[in-house]
Structure 1
Amino acid sequence: MKRSSILDARRKQVNPEVRERVELSFQIVDRIHEILTAKGLKQKDLALQLGKKEAEISKWMRGTHNFTIDTLVAIEQALDAPILQVVHQEEEAYA
């Protein structure tokens, strides 16, 4: 996908903490989309599995939704696939 130089310039002006949160949110949405595509599912199917309206799932998939852990777990269970992975580092790395 070609990136817009205007959007790239605007992105650089965003607070780094905010940028990191937004980037993670987009990564989550990308992962959900990957799973849906791999399983031949649509957002409507996810909505049905979660007991949500399709419009709510569509809103989530815009990349600006602040997902809760409960929501992520529900999505992982509905899709039977992991979304996030927690990496444990050796204690020596913190010493």
Structure 2
Amino acid sequence: MKRNSKILSELRKKRDNREYERTRTSMLLAASISKAIKSKGLTKSEFAEKMGKNPSVVTKWLSGVHNFTSDTLTDIQQVLGISLLNLGSETSPILTARGNTSTTFNVFIMPDEYKKVKNEGLNPISFATLSNTQVISKRVVEMLSSHD
């Protein structure tokens, strides 16, 4: 019994924490996607159709071992209306620009840029949904200023 315990202890010490975290993240992503599919009342086949993929691809995604690309995660977020990755939410405020149309742009502002924007009297808001539109922060500041 002590020998098994010692072997397990040695294996735990050798465990690569990066690999563990990768596996954990993959499993959490798969669980979040599965939960969102169910909450939308979709079957895996219906979700696959909305994604333009074969159902076997969705099965692989939900296995918890798939290495997602950022493009795939972005597509999944858009189809399911969820946020899987809150990139920058811990360090970078986000500004929302509302123009004359109903389009809303949610854009990440880097900390140094945030200070400049804040000095211009613009208010940060909490994360809603990152839109498809990617705009360089300087252009965003110009956009925000022109819509006041």
TM-score, normalised to structure 2, is 0.50
Q: 1:81 maps to which residue? A: 82
Deviation at 1:75, TM superposition (A): 0.5
Consecutive aligned runs of 4 or more in structure 1 exceeding 3 Å deviation: 11-14
- Answer 1 or 2: higher relative contact order, Cα 8 Å, separation at least 6: 1
More helix by share: 1
Whole-angstrom CA distance in 1 between matches of 2:70 and 2:43 = 22
What number of residue pairs does the alignment pair up?
82
Structure 2 matches for 1:19-38, cutoff 5 A? Answer: 19-38=20-39
| Match of residue 44 from structure 1 | 45
Task: Tell me the distance in 2 between the aligned counterparts of 1:43 and 1:31.
Answer: 14
Structure 1: tracts of 5 or more residues without a match? 1-8
TM-score (norm 1): 0.75
1:33-64: per-residue Cα shift (whole Å, max 9, x none)?
Answer: 11111111121111101111001110111011
Q: Quick check: which has more Rg, 1 or 2?
A: 2
Q: Which amino acid aligns with 2:82?
A: A
Task: Please tell me the root mean square deviation across aligned C-alpha atoms, in Å.
Answer: 2.0
Q: Percent identity?
A: 29
Q: Which is richer in strand? A: 2
